[in-house]
Amino acid sequence: MSLAELSEDTISKLRLIKRNLVEVVTEEELVELIETKKPRAYVGYEPSGEIHLGHLMTVNKLMDLQKSGVDVVVLLADVHAYLNEKGDFNEIKEIAEYNKRAFIALGLDETKAEFVLGSKFQLEREYVLDIHRLARITTLNRARRSMDEVSRRKEDPMVSQMVYPLMQALDIVHLRVDIAVGGIDQRKIHMLARENLPRIGYYSPVCLHTPILLGLDGEKMSSSRGNYISVADDKEEVERKIRKAYCPEKKVEDNPIIQIAKYHVFPRFEKVVVERPAKFGGDVEYSSYDDLERDYVDGNLHPMDLKISMANYLNKLLENTRKKLK
């Protein structure tokens, strides 16, 4: 179906839902959901003590979905975290509560979101039986390939971590959601769900995949490297990290500061003003990311001016979050 055949309302919702995504599987199924029902979408998060801009990629997408009239479910995946060796249940539950507060503080509308602790349904008889049903039709190699995206022990994984992707597939149907949202690194698990859930009597979900945010050093984001911005970082720390960050001149590919502009700043602010001394051209205002990217590639915007501006806007974005988390 072409865009010309869709209503203005559907087109508007579709554009917002697709904004800054890497992939929709499939767009035709998404359109059908939008036009025939009030869909439900979810993201699952292993409770983490550090909520950072990587998490905000999917939180931003949940906010887009809320604006599009989609009901949103946030799974605080305590059982998943336990299986992935993230601590005992008491420790994980405490972190999950902090995560819930952080997601709301970042802008998720609490009145339009349902927060679910995994242990509230993942230990029930029917869910456990479904794990066995799915295990009977999933090869070890397929489970291993899916597990590789989430496991902490890729070389010598525990059996529990092989169960992880099966559970993630089953979460979709047991939470009664139509849309699974995750980073593109979740694709193998989502494809496992789409292919194998119908074989045990369930439906295939629509899958929305967001990009993976680079660390500030241009490498993979990692807690051990500390190459990320946390919601707990104060104003000065954000400025320090941004000033030190990798930001190659005239290059947007694999540029973490450009990613921050595209995925975090422009979706939240109607216009972005880069403040510069008059001798360097004076202030410049952008109403779209594309305009900023064009100036940067053409050399009309210096990396340090971009950095200072992004630090200012990130601090505006995180200021209210910090207050709510105190």
- Kindly report, residue by residue over 141-160, the tens digit of the pLDDT: 888 888 765 555 567 777 87
Q: Do residues 205 and 240 both lie within one domain?
A: no
Verify that 34 and 157 share a domain, yes or no: yes
Question: How deeply is 200 buried, as exposed, middle or buried, from its count of CB atoms within 10 A (0-12, 13-18, 19+)?
Answer: middle
In a domain, 104, yes or no: yes
> Which CATH number covers residue 240?
1.10.240.10
Residues 23 and 69 in one domain: yes
Cβ pair 267, 24 in contact under 8 A = no
Instruction: Specify if 42 maps to a domain.
Output: yes
8 and 142, same domain (yes or no): yes
Q: What is the pLDDT of residue 224?
A: 75
Q: Is residue 272's pLDDT more than 90? A: yes
Q: What is the C-alpha to C-alpha distance for residues 106 and 181, in angstroms, rounded to an integer? A: 18
Domain with 113 in it: what CATH number?
A: 3.40.50.620
Residues 308 and 186 reside in one and the same domain: no
Arithmetic mean of pLDDT, 64-78:
97
- The pLDDT tens digits for 177-220 are 999 999 999 999 999 999 999 999 999 999 999 999 999 999 98
Residue 1, pLDDT > 60, answer no
pLDDT band per the 50, 70, 90 thresholds, residue 254: very high
pLDDT value of position 84: 83
| Residue 279 included in any domain | yes
pTM over 0.75: yes
pLDDT score, position 263: 97
Quickly state the pLDDT bin for 29 (edges 50, 70, 90): very high
Report yes or no on 93 lying in a domain: yes
Of 193, 210, 227, which marks where a domain is finished?
210
What's the total number of domains in the chain? 2
Q: What percent of the chain has pLDDT over 70?
A: 96
* DSSP percent split of the chain into helix, strand, coil, nearest 5: 55, 10, 35
pLDDT over 90 (residue 281): no
* Residue 53 pLDDT greater than 80, yes or no: yes
Is residue 204 domain-shared with residue 249, that is, in the same domain? no
Confidence of residue 140 (pLDDT cuts 50, 70, 90): confident
> Quick check: 270 and 287 in contact, CB under 8 A?
yes
Residue-level pLDDT at 2: 63
Domain that holds residue 277: 235-325
Instruction: Check pLDDT > 60 for residue 114.
Output: yes
Tell me: do 113 and 158 sit in the same domain: yes
The answer as to whether 291 is a domain residue is: yes
Q: Which two tokens stand for residue 265?
A: 């700043």
Residue 301 lies in a domain: yes
Can you tell me which residue has the tokens 């009597």?
201
On the question of a cis peptide bond just before residue 10, with omega within 30 degrees of 0, the verdict is no
Together in a domain, 242 and 283: yes
For CA atoms 107, 92, 263, 217, the dihedral sign is: positive
Query: What mean pLDDT do residues 172-181 have?
Result: 98
**Dihedral sign computed on CA atoms, order 288, 64, 25, 34:** negative
Percentage of residues of the chain with pLDDT beyond 90 = 81
Residues in the chain: 326
- Per the domain annotation, does 220 fall within a domain? no
Instruction: Please report the pLDDT score of residue 32 as a whole number.
Output: 95
CB of 220 closer than 8 Å to CB of 194: no
Q: Which residue has the tokens 């199924």?
A: 29
Q: Is 79 in the same domain as 181?
A: yes
Within this chain, do residues 81 and 171 fall inside the same structural domain, yes or no?
A: yes
Point out the least confidently predicted range of 23-32, 34-43, 50-59, 221-230: 221-230
Quick check: helix, strand or coil at residue 84? Answer: coil
Q: Is residue 261 part of a domain?
A: yes
Note whether 153 and 244 are same-domain residues.
no
20 sits in the region (left: phi over 0; alpha: psi -120 to 50; else beta) called left
**pLDDT score of 168:** 95
Does residue 247 share a domain with residue 110? Answer: no
